[in-house]
Amino acid sequence: MPYKTPKLRRANYLANREKQLKQGKLWKKRNRSKARASYTRWAKKYPDKVKAKRKAYYEANKEAAKAYSMKYRAEHSVLVKKSLAEWKKKNPDKVSALLQKRRAAKTAAGGAYTYIQWVELCKRYHNKCLSCNKKKRLTPDHVIPISKGGTSNISNIQPLCGSCNSSKGTKIVDYRRETNNGRQRSRSCRNRH
């Protein structure tokens, strides 16, 4: 039965909610592929709603969700390992941030930073190593090393290339420079102030 306005459609739905839900479940059961395609279109259109819905479900069913996850991983271990390896290969910076967070938690040094904070920090310094000023693959370096009481807060992290990070070792060296209109100030400029 067509309705002239969304308001009338909503009023009819609320008046016959149980019946409507029952009919909807029956239709989904009979038309699985159409229902899945419809949900996929909706999910692409409203990703924030999907994320909120999944989070709410997880919070309400934590134990069941964990049990399902463990069971799935056990039954599909090869698939899980393969997809995890692919994700790690595609997201090396995210892996690095997670490993840094784990390392900091193990040492009880405190602090953590997110992948987004790391990317923003690299962008601030034009994706260049602060020591050699070259565009190489950057690694997070602790200005004050964790072994000397430093934390893993983003304020104690500087982007260095792998070789500069290794040569710095556990020394306390701060290569960060102030930015001036988006450009790095030279060391000679910085030393005059």
Among 69, 90, 111, the domain boundary falls at 90
Instruction: Kindly state whether residues 80 and 102 are assigned to the same domain.
Output: no
Please give the share of the chain, as a percent, with pLDDT higher than 90: 54
Does 6 reside within a domain?
A: no
Does 49 reside within a domain?
A: yes
Q: Could you tell me the pTM of the whole model? A: 0.51
Instruction: Kindly state whether residues 116 and 144 are assigned to the same domain.
Output: yes
Query: Sorting pLDDT into bands at 50, 70 and 90, what band is 73?
Result: very high
Per the structure, the complete domain to which residue 45 belongs is given by 32-90
pLDDT (tens digit per residue) in 77-96: 999 999 999 999 999 888 88
Instruction: Kindly state whether residues 79 and 45 are assigned to the same domain.
Output: yes
Count up the domains in the chain and report the number: 2
Tokens (6 digits) for 139: 């690694």
Give the domain CATH number at 108: 1.10.30
Instruction: Kindly state whether residues 39 and 105 are assigned to the same domain.
Output: no
